[in-house]
Amino acid sequence: MATRKPVASRPDLAAMLAPLARSLMALETPVLGRHGLTMWGYAVLSGLRGQEVRTQSALAESIGADKTRVIAVLDDLQDDGLINRQPDPADRRARLLSLTDRGARVHAAAQADIQRRENALLARLGRAERAAFLSALETLASVPRDEIVALAEHGS
């Protein structure tokens, strides 16, 4: 009881991450709009890049969306000719999802545009600091949501 712990040696992680993420989304929404994409549309294209996905539910989960919410997004992307979406012959309940050539091109152009602007922000960091930040962020972003949420348990 004699000593008092220093309060707030650092700001809360969430208090820094959440506004930063919100600002980045506000930045990216109009940029994606110029490529004819919404935020979720772009997320779907990213989730489909390089790999065919067998069900819409799996895609939804992989991008952190609700399965009911991707439906309208997939409708739009299909109307725009950016994705293929066909019933799986082996299980006609499922829909095989993949990028069209045009979808791959649109995604690549949008991503280049996005990352160019993100790089302008990252330029505020020193070269080594930037590399360390990105490496650490990739590590943390790869931690499954469930494991993070589980840290809320009392005893942890």
Partner DNA sequence: TATTGTTATACTCTATAACTATA
Partner DNA sequence: TATAGTTATAGAGTATAACAATA
Q: Is 77 in the site for DNA (CB under 7 A)?
A: no
CB atoms within 10 A of CB 83: 23
The strand pairing partners of 98, in sequence order, are 84
Q: Is 91 in the site for DNA (CB under 7 A)?
A: yes
Q: Is 151 in the site for its own copies (CB under 8 A)?
A: yes
Q: Name which of residues 22 to 61 contact DNA (CB under 7 A).
A: 40, 55-58
Question: CA 90, CA 31: separation in Å to the nearest integer?
Answer: 39
Options 12-20, 66-74, 80-88, 95-103: segment touching its own copies (CB under 8 A): 12-20
Question: CA 98, CA 45: separation in Å to the nearest integer?
Answer: 9
Options 5-13, 72-80, 82-90, 94-102: segment touching its own copies (CB under 8 A): 5-13
Q: Which chain residues interact with DNA by CB under 7 A?
A: 40, 55-58, 65-69, 71, 74, 91-95
Q: Which chain residues interact with its own copies by CB under 8 A?
A: 5, 7-8, 10-28, 30-31, 43, 46, 49, 64, 108, 111-112, 114-118, 120-122, 124-125, 128-130, 132-141, 143, 145, 148-149, 151-152, 156
